[in-house]
Amino acid sequence: MFLAVALSIAALGFICWLLFNLAVYALPFFAGVSVGLLAYESGAGAIGAMIVGLVLGVVTLVFGQLLFASIRSPTIRSTVALAYAAPAAFAGYHAVHGLSAIGNVEEAWSRTFSVLGAIVIAGVAWSRMSVLRPGGHTGTSEPRQHTVAG
């Protein structure tokens, strides 16, 4: 019995860790799946649709990160970060809601946990997008001054 409880806690912890690590990729995943389904319905076949979806997902991720890193305007940077954080919040809400349903939590608490989970996961996605700074490097936007101690 103890082993089952310990393994359940470890599995839920792994799922939460995986959810946090995949938070930024909600928008590229959604774009890739949508275009992949469109390609499949237009006759591209299963393999062609997967290739098209994968390519568009990668392009969406790379384009968003490059756009975020190269634009200096805070308004545009916030809009790009919001475009990545909003789908992550949506996915986080439903993931936490599903996880709380496993534990037979009351509906009010389940909704509360789900909203908190959506906020946290959107914050993770926002912070991961904001790691890239204007100028192409991380950290401050000003170059470092190296001095030699004599």
pLDDT digits (tens, 9 = 90+) for 10-47: 887 787 777 777 776 888 888 898 999 999 999 888 89
Q: Are 129 and 104 in contact (CB under 8 A)?
A: no
Residues of the chain by 3-state class (helix, strand, coil), percent to 5: 80, 0, 20
Q: How many domains does the chain have?
A: 1
pLDDT band at 132 (very low <50, low <70, confident <90, very high): low
Whether residue 38 is contained in a domain is answered as yes
Whether residue 143 is contained in a domain is answered as no
Whether residue 148 is contained in a domain is answered as no
Whether residue 70 is contained in a domain is answered as yes
Query: What DSSP state is assigned to residue 148?
Result: -
Whether residue 136 is contained in a domain is answered as no
